[in-house]
Chain A
Amino acid sequence: GAGVSQSPSNKVTEKGKDVELRCDPISGHTALYWYRQRLGQGLEFLIYFQGNSAPDKSGLPSDRFSAERTGESVSTLTIQRTQQEDSAVYLCASSSPPGQGIYNEQFFGPGTRLTVL
């Protein structure tokens, strides 16, 4: 009965290195979202997965960002050649299939705080 989990909770890396962030959605949730929250700002949408459909990648800020999802389970967000402006909290959310659940509410994980030195 766990909620959305994310790992690591904190990540410090050096500029130019690659990082991988992991998200475990709530079991049975077919939709999975990644958002980014920069310091003092609102959340920015990055990417959306829904079942076996092609993901909506419209929010990815550059080709250094990519994400994968295996079936309806774990997702990994990868940032290549990290830059200082990538420093942010990366949030993952999941929701039940369209038409099911209460208003398809998105349940958020605790986030991964990424610091690029």
Chain B
Amino acid sequence: GNSVTQMEGPVTLSEEAFLTINCTYTATGYPSLFWYVQYPGEGLQLLLKATKADDKGSNKGFEATYRKETTSFHLEKGSVQVSDSAVYFCALRQGAQKLVFGQGTRLTINP
């Protein structure tokens, strides 16, 4: 079946550091790929997405590229801020149905 494997956390960085959170997936066909973010005390919200191979999703300075050859969708940001502290979830979806999530990575940014 479909599955998503995320880099284990927690991850702690200093402000302005470079961030990478790894995500790889297993799926039949060509799923859509997503990164969701859950800020402290808030609900889950979509951060970025990519629907086909080589697409790059981007939002709020975060980027992720759909790599079919390596079945990966790593999340990157060049310079993190304290406000980026949150839990990040990688997910895939095939068709219009359920999302399959990774286990989540807790990110803490220290000033």
Contact = CB atoms under 8 A, between A and B. Distances in A.
Interface of A: 31, 33, 35, 40-45, 48, 50, 56, 59, 91, 93, 95, 98, 103-106, 108-111
B11 to A, nearest CB: 14
Nearest to B41: A110
Nearest to A34: B98
A56 B51 CA distance: 23
Report, nearest first, the 9 A-B pairs whose CB atoms are least far apart. Answer: A42-B101, A45-B98, A98-B96, A42-B103, A108-B44, A43-B101, A110-B43, A108-B43, A104-B96
B-side interface mostly: strand
A45 B45 contact: no
B102 A42 contact: yes
B77 interface: no
Given A41-B104, A42-B89, A105 B46 contact: yes
Interface in B63-102: 89, 91, 95-102
Most chain A beta-carbon neighbours within 10 Å: one of B42, B45, B99: B99
A63 B99 CA distance: 22
A110 B44 CA distance: 7
B43 A48 contact: no
B96 A95 contact: yes
Nearest to B32: A103
A48 B77 CA distance: 33
15 contacts: A31-B96, A42-B89, A42-B104, A44-B101, A45-B99, A45-B100, A50-B96, A56-B98, A59-B98, A91-B44, A104-B96, A108-B43, A108-B45, A109-B43, A110-B42
Contacts of B99: 33, 35, 43, 45, 93, 106
Contacts of A104: 96
